[in-house]
Amino acid sequence: MHAGAHTQGHGQEQAPRAMRIKAWAKVNLALNIVGRRPDGYHDLETVMHRIDFADDVEVVMGSDLAGAGRRPVSRVCRPVITVTVTGDADLDVSGVPCGRGNVAFRAAQAFLESLGRYESVSISIRKRIPVGAGLGGGSADAAAVLVAMNQLWGRPYGREKLMAIGASIGADVPFCLMNHDLAGDDADRSAPVHAAFAQGIGDRLTPLPGLRGVGLLLVTPGFAVSTSDAYAMWDARFAKGVGHEGRDAQEPDAVRPPARATARRLAEVLSLARSRAECADASSDLQRVCSLMSNDFEPLIDERYGQIVQMKRLMIQVGAIGSLMSGSGPTVFGMYGSPGQAGAAAGVLGSLAANCGFDMGRHGSAVVVACIGDSGS
């Protein structure tokens, strides 16, 4: 789990318990928006894959604010939650909230309230995943908090309950939870899942075999895109009205025929393929995956901000088998046959981008080499 926990005591008083855990980023290998629902949410089909790139999260449990044997009284006895966020290297985290606006805060609050516990909790997040980048950093942090707190409290919840709490916090949190060993009792143990086909609002998850040994080169431009803004762009372009079944009155198939089923087809390819370490035609599998990658948000984000299509072309020029914008953007990733190939591509991408007028040194931009599947659980 890439986590560590400790408990110490001083006489009769128990010191806070702490646990460190990785919060894994994800990429969307395909993201197709099926339609807007009457409740304002959107049905989608997407294939998500965990990558070897993570924030570091530490959770420290403090004292029982209600007191042993006392019933909590109104607002006096509420969980006291503090969140501290720092950025790795030059990562700008000045816009990351530390109160209820932070999904890690809401995860801790939901967990404690579900148990009826009134305790102090301190959460420290060392961010490496860029903010508002389409890599699921906030959801990953929330999932890590839930997993750590469940461990610290002696695993009161199994997989099903943790997933329900996660779904109440954010659509991507359940997938991020699946990236961990969600152990409740021994009968509930489940190995981490690195890839899944998501439907509905992202809450209906079908585990998939993950890719192995694939190199990733990720470039995040120097701007952030909120998921709500991305959906608003999609609504303005396509959602002319909503039918009684939650589909657009303007039939999506008539608007974007190629993209509609790519996530489903890509999921089928992954289901049939064995891991790259075992598969004789691993290169062919990766080619098929890359040929099916698509993202309905991509043309909208590129139209608004630029740079997305340009960066995809540069990725291909430096040897990527396929390239795509992840999630609601703006991070663009290229897929390579190995992490070594991705690293070599990163070495020449900067000069090539500069020749094309793309400022890789722009404040807030980030270039990361990562991999899929070789980091363990």
Active site residues: 26, 172
Tokens coding 103: 């999904």
Give the C-alpha separation, 51 to 135, whole Å.
9
Tokens coding 287: 């080619």
Closest alpha carbon to 117 in 143, 83, 154, 144: 154
Give the C-alpha separation, 129 to 140, whole Å.
10
Give the C-alpha separation, 97 to 99, whole Å.
6
Maximum distance among all Cα pairs of the chain, rounded to whole angstroms: 71
The CA–CA distances, whole Å, from 261 to 114, 201, 266, 267, 314 equal 38, 16, 9, 10, 27
82 bridge partner residues: 122
Give the C-alpha separation, 224 to 364, whole Å.
9
What is the bridge-based pairing of β-strands 4-6 and 204-208? unpaired
Distance of CA 82 to the CA centre of its chain: 22
What is the DSSP secondary-structure string of 277-324?
TT-TTHHHHHHHHHHT-EETTHHHHHHHH--HHHHHHHHHHTT-SEEE
What SS3 class is residue 173? helix
Give the C-alpha separation, 150 to 111, whole Å.
8
Amino acid of residue 167: A
Q: What phi, psi does 76 have (nearest 5°)? A: -65, -40
Give the C-alpha separation, 83 to 123, whole Å.
5
Q: What are the residues whose beta carbons fall under 8 Å from the beta carbon of 160, sequence distance 6 or more?
A: none
335 bridge partner residues: 216, 322
Distance of CA 186 to the CA centre of its chain: 27
